[in-house]
């Protein structure tokens, strides 16, 4: 398996489609938002033409109001991986969701614990009343090992960890283990000079607006999907929802989307560290110039050596 990782807008999907012209590849998405149906523009989902030319997996697998977890992703991705390998093809894992990527690369064994909606609502109500740090302190008392791996502000992951504990009576960290996959894995990282990356992000956000992101969010709301859903709280959908409710102007929403996406890109570098020896890094700062061609040829050469 080959994984292509890095921050949003750095060029991962573009590279994957280029490589598909030279190798027998099928793509497994590692994007936590592209799993939702009807959410195409704001997640920068591959187009129907791209999906027809290169098979993509773990995209459009759940309704926007459906439950989806890391365990569910991991199961679907492993099924896709096995099917691709059985065809004699090369599986290309592409995305910037660190949990999704490393769960496959490191072979995480994730507890299959179904969501407990009643308890989840109770914990969400507590978070509203007491703040997320109250739940985080509870998790620290129950499972300090799991707590160290979760951002204190990430309320969804805190609630999920507490949910697993209350349903099984076991600490989440005891249920999770790693078992190295029995096949070679190459991890390719793409990076870009920060100011250039931000300009690419801003250009992409403007393009999403031109393509109809506002109309996409309107249609989702008309279908009855609540703005409070996890799927609808993602970057882009949340801010356009606020605009449609009259809480900010469209220009303010666009500026906020750009700001939050810049922040998200910085967060992704915490998952994919430039100093991580497992990742072979390539700089795409000059992707539009001759250097981009050189980088692409280097990646192709690396893959040819990997699969030979």
The tens digit of pLDDT for each residue in 24-55 reads 999 999 999 999 999 999 999 999 999 999 99
- If asked whether residues 207 and 235 sit together in one domain, one would say yes
Q: Are 209 and 266 in contact (CB under 8 A)?
A: no
Least confident of 87-101, 113-127, 194-208, 264-278: 113-127
Q: Are 97 and 165 in contact (CB under 8 A)?
A: no
- If asked whether residues 206 and 243 sit together in one domain, one would say yes
What angle in degrees, to the nearest 10, is found between the helix axes of 237-244 and 213-222?
70
The Cα–Cα gap between 183 and 115 comes to 32
Identify the helix (H) or strand (E) that includes residue 267. Answer: helix 250-271
Task: List, in order, residues 6 or more apart from 12 with CB less than 8 Å away.
Answer: 4, 5, 6, 94, 95, 96, 190
How many whole angstroms from its chain centre is CA 123? 25
76: phi then psi, degrees, rounded to nearest 5: -65, -40
Neighbouring CB atoms inside 10 A of 192's CB total 22
- If asked whether residues 170 and 260 sit together in one domain, one would say no
pLDDT greater than 60 at residue 116: yes
Give the pair of three-digit tokens for residue 160. Answer: 């999920």
- If asked whether residues 93 and 126 sit together in one domain, one would say no
- If asked whether residues 88 and 168 sit together in one domain, one would say no
Q: Which of 154, 175, 196 is the last residue of a domain?
A: 175
The Cα–Cα gap between 91 and 100 comes to 15
Neighbouring CB atoms inside 10 A of 17's CB total 17
pLDDT (tens digit per residue) in 263-276:
999 999 999 999 99
- If asked whether residues 301 and 195 sit together in one domain, one would say yes
Q: What is the pLDDT of residue 149?
A: 83
Q: What CATH number is given to the structural domain containing 146?
A: 1.10.20.140
Q: Sign (positive/negative) of CA torsion 34, 39, 45, 50?
A: positive
Give the pair of three-digit tokens for residue 147. Answer: 């707590």
- If asked whether residues 106 and 123 sit together in one domain, one would say no
Q: Are 144 and 150 in contact (CB under 8 A)?
A: no
Q: What CATH number is given to the structural domain containing 77?
A: 3.40.50.300
The Cα–Cα gap between 30 and 96 comes to 6
Of the candidates 97, 67, 270, 71, which has an alpha carbon nearest to the alpha carbon of residue 172? 71
The Cα–Cα gap between 188 and 94 comes to 10
Per the structure, the count of domains in the chain is: 2
Q: Residue range 198-217: average pLDDT? A: 98
- If asked whether residues 87 and 220 sit together in one domain, one would say yes
Q: Are 118 and 157 in contact (CB under 8 A)?
A: no
Return the bridge partners of 186, or none: 2
Task: List, in order, residues 6 or more apart from 219 with CB less than 8 Å away.
Answer: 38
**What pTM does this model have?**
0.85
Q: Residue range 61-68: average pLDDT? A: 95
Q: Which domain holds residue 263?
A: 2-110+184-307
Residue with tokens 């199961």, as numbered in its chain? 75
Of the candidates 149, 129, 131, which has an alpha carbon nearest to the alpha carbon of residue 140? 149
pLDDT (tens digit per residue) in 140-196:
999 999 899 898 888 888 998 999 898 888 888 887 778 889 899 999 999 999 999
């Amino acid at each position: 398996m080959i994984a292509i990782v890095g921050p949003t807008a750095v060029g991962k999907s573009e590279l994957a489609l280029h490589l598909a012209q030279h190798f027998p590849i099928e793509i497994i998405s590692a994007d936590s938002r592209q799993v939702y149906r009807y959410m195409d523009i704001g997640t920068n989902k591959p187009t129907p033409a791209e999906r027809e030319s290169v098979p993509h997996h773990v995209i459009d697998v759940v309704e926007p109001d459906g439950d989806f977890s890391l365990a569910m992703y991991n199961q679907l991705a492993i099924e896709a991986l096995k099917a691709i390998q059985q065809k004699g093809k090369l599986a290309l894992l592409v995305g910037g969701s660190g949990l999704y990527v490393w769960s496959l690369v490191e072979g995480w064994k994730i507890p299959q614990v179904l969501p407990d909606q009643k308890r989840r609502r109770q914990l969400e109500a507590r978070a509203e009343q007491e703040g997320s740090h109250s739940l985080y302190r509870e998790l620290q008392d129950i499972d300090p090992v799991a707590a160290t791996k979760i951002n204190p502000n990430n309320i969804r992951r805190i609630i999920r960890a507490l949910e697993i504990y209350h349903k099984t009576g076991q600490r989440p960290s005891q249920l999770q283990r790693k078992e190295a996959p029995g096949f070679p894995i190459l991890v390719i990282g793409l990076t870009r000079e920060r100011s250039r990356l931000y300009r690419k992000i801003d250009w992409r956000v403007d393009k999403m607006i031109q393509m109809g992101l506002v109309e996409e969010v309107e249609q989702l709301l008309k279908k009855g999907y609540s703005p409070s859903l996890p799927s609808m709280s993602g970057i882009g959908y949340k801010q356009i929802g606020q605009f449609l409710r009259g809480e900010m102007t469209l220009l303010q929403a666009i500026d906020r989307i750009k700001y939050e996406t810049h922040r998200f890109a910085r967060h992704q570098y915490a998952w994919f560290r430039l100093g991580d020896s497992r990742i072979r890094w390539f700089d795409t700062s000059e992707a539009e110039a001759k250097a981009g061609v050189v980088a692409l040829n280097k990646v192709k050469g690396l893959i040819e050596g990997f699969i030979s």
